[in-house]
Amino acid sequence: MIDSLLSAPLARWDDLHLVFDVPTIERILRERLAVVEALSNPDLDGRDDRLNLGLRVHWKGISMRVRVELTEIRLRHRRLGFRLGRLRGPAGFPVPRIAVLRTLRAAAPDLVTILPASDVVVVDLRSWIPPEVTLRVVAVQVVGQGLHLWLASGSVMDFLHKKNDQLPAGEAETSLLSA
């Protein structure tokens, strides 16, 4: 009986559709990018399953507007993955993929991985998504000012009562009295 109580999730869902406000996401991105020297002025738009991210890129004294198309956006095992689609610079000119990939990697070297010989980017979100959360994004779509996310079945385990059964380091008598 105790095993069944311990293994039951706090909450679970069977497929979930979330809609996020695009202007709010853009505001959050602006705040987060304020500390990144190479990137600024984000804007989002899109159509169907393609999300277009516009950014001002600052590199070696040059500043230009770049639009990156993200497709096949997925989240699994607390990692966000997407494929880079069309990359456009000023006046719609193509931008070399290697420049965008290097900028992404330089902006967050500990978080961003580029899969070899592909245009797939993986962002490690484990520091933001707790291990007690099972979350999978199966589809992303932009409709008007809404960013729609469809989540697969998932759950949240009880993370409110973290257990620490270990004694603190040091002398047992001293540690027990001070604990």
Q: Per-domain residue ranges for the chain?
A: 10-156
pTM of the model: 0.70
Confidence of residue 170 (pLDDT cuts 50, 70, 90): low
Question: Could you tell me the CA-to-CA distances from 51 to 14, 68, 94, 139, 171 in Å, in that order?
Answer: 25, 8, 17, 11, 57
pLDDT digits (tens, 9 = 90+) for 83-134: 988 888 888 888 888 777 777 777 777 888 888 778 899 999 999 889 899 9
- Residue-level pLDDT at 103: 73
